Amino acid sequence: MTDHTPRSNTLAALILGVCLFAGAGLLGYQLNDTAIAVKEYERTVTVKGLAERELPADIVIWPVSYALASNDLAALYRDIDNNSEAIRQFLLAHDIAAADISVNAPIITDKTAQSYGGPQPTFRYSASQVVTVYSTAIDTVRSTMNNVGELGKQGIVLTAGNYDSQTQYLFTGLNDIKPSMIEQATKNAREVAGKFAADSNSRLGKIKRASQGQFSIDARDANNPHIKKVRVVSTVEYYLAD
């Protein structure tokens, strides 16, 4: 009697392998078909919503800087004190609060120490000094800026254009307007998405995902740095349905 067990096992294994391969192929086809169907079902549109506001700055930082020169160091320090006090009195006379005025430490330069063997400077010592106004009274400070010529008439040489002499206007109320601006940006995004849906004969569905952009605060323009433009852009992705 001949034993056919090994051949029978091989045939059975072959049949099983063919079945598994066919089953895997069918499953792969079904999964691919399902993925295509899901992809077609999840049609979306991504839009950006903008919110902008123009608001007045609520803090002004105004550095009033001046320069002096002398060959007498002690006399130079006296002149610095006199000039700083003159500026302080000028500011007080224009209704700027004393608490809003601060005087920085002067910067003194000995030019003979920097000549490196070249021609001797006319004045050995030069000094720069800054009196700073930090105030919420924007209109009062701006009005005072228009009268700084009075200091020049007192012999005070004002300097401008330096990086540390630039007037700054700040807006610090961002947290108070954030919620309403985000709401406005989201509403704007939905209006844009709704227009897109209507043009493509679709209906706008729920939000799939949303991200809030960074808030930016800039001067409205170069001539009105005290008016700030606050801006935020939100990105929203919506589902679309037929």
Domain of residue 235, CATH code: 3.30.110.170
Residues 2 and 217: their CA atoms lie apart, in Å, by: 94
> Which pair of structure tokens corresponds to residue 75?
């006399």
Tell me which of 31-45, 50-64, 169-183, 218-232 is least confident.
31-45
The pLDDT tens digits of the residues spanning 54-109 come to 999 999 999 999 999 999 999 999 999 999 999 999 999 999 999 999 999 999 99
Q: Are residues 154 and 177 in the same domain?
A: no
Q: 211 and 150, same structural domain?
A: no
Across the chain, the runs of DSSP E, i.e. the strands, are 44-56, 59-70, 101-103, 107-110, 125-135, 157-159, 168-170, 203-212, 216-219, 227-241
With a CB cutoff of 8 Å and minimum separation 6, the contacts of 70 are 76, 79, 123, 124, 125, 127
Is residue 25 classed as helix, strand or coil in its secondary structure?
Answer: helix
The dihedral sign for the CA sequence 81, 82, 87, 92: positive
Listed in sequence order, the DSSP H helices in 44-156 are: 73-93, 138-145, 149-153
Same-domain check for residues 141 and 195? no
Which comes out higher in pLDDT, residue 124 or 6? Answer: 124
**CA atoms of 32 and 90, how far apart (whole Å):** 81
Q: Which residues contact 78 (CB under 8 A, 6 or more apart)?
A: none
Higher pLDDT: 13 or 159? It is: 159
Last-in-domain residue among 121, 145, 170: 170
| Count of domains for the chain | 3
Asked if pLDDT for residue 7 goes beyond 60, the answer is no
Residues 36 and 50 in one domain: no
Does 212 lie in the same domain as 120? no
In terms of domains, do 64 and 166 share one? yes
Strand (E) or helix (H) holding 186: helix 174-199
Where in the sequence is the domain holding 22, given as residue range(s)? 1-41
Are residue 52 and residue 29 in the same domain, yes or no?
no
pLDDT at residue 136, rounded to an integer: 98
CA distance 169 to 160: 17
**Residues 99 and 19 placed together within one structural domain of the fold:** no
Q: What is the pLDDT of residue 241?
A: 87
Give pLDDT, residue 31.
41
Based on the domain organization, do 219 and 196 belong to the same domain?
yes
Residue at a domain's end among 170, 186, 208:
170
Mean pLDDT of the chain: 85
Same domain flag for 86 and 106: yes
Coil, helix or strand at residue 43: coil
Q: Average pLDDT for residues 211-218, to the nearest whole number?
A: 93
Which of 126, 146, 170 represents a domain boundary (last residue)?
Answer: 170
140 & 105 share domain: yes
Q: Are residues 92 and 190 in the same domain?
A: no
